[in-house]
Structure 1
């Protein structure tokens, strides 16, 4: 299926090209999602270690009772049989757990329907992070400056809306552009910033959303540093 194909492709790129220590959880139940997120958030991290959490799959939204979005798990019930979405994973739970993660640098990527409702207020999709301020410094100084501050950022494949699954057997439009960004390998300096990633994503329809949560510090960034 497309989510499995997408997750494996992103995982391979992160591992092979950027040296991420990758764990892939396929077709996770609700309990497996909660346990995995808790395990990732609780690990020991160094000062410049980063945590990236990527969801590829299906999402839902509750308009009547909770006004929040959810990731649909492998064992989730249909909306008709789950009035309060108890069998799904609420975005607010994900937001709170990642807010308290042990890593100082966290990025959440949601390629699911209604992913943009992860933000307490829907953002404009502007992910600029002041890269122009650092264009003349060395790569080492760029990394040190950007990873000096607490990072809590997110990117989603759309707003409060359904997003396309893509052609069966191919990547979703969002993941296709994400992979294109990752395969630039950071250009001449070998460092791919979030604003550079978003420059690839912003042409996807529907428009992806990006922003910050829980005391993200000004000047922070999430970096993809090519091996």
Structure 2
């Protein structure tokens, strides 16, 4: 793919969003075919593969990104007393310098709280303002029974707004399948974007 700045036509942006969403949904559909007793394993595999997929996309546009643990030194009275280890899905680097930290999840359900708190704690402990972002596939889940299936939204609007206003906003949140209220509701529309914005513009801003 290479550096895609300058090729950000609406058509190319749509291709990026649709390709990633469709490919990952195909993976999820294949894992859905596993026996019911292995459903928890399938969900874990699906999440792991999505993380790998996004890392490959970022690497392919020419950005250095890894997963792993960051050791955070904690100072007391100006001296390093001990260290805390933080595991992250995405560590965007320029050389060996950490430029941004990201979380990649198939949905925000049961995870959104931790992502906001991780940013608060990391920057508090390191006395930095390292950008933290999140990438989600979608925020819907299946409901009903065979022949009568529907979908439920799993996005916790109140939690997202509360943490954004009262704790700290994330440095943008990205969805491959953005929900309608995310482009109409105040606070949500200011902090949530479609995934194409990340690869065409925002990741390069993090690297500046």
TM-score bin (small chain): 0.3 to 0.5
TM-score between the two structures when normalised by the length of structure 2: 0.41
Relative contact order (C-alpha < 8 Å, sep 6+): which is higher? 1
Q: Select the structure of larger CA radius of gyration.
A: 2
Normalized per residue, the structure richer in helix is 2
Normalized per residue, the structure richer in strand is 2
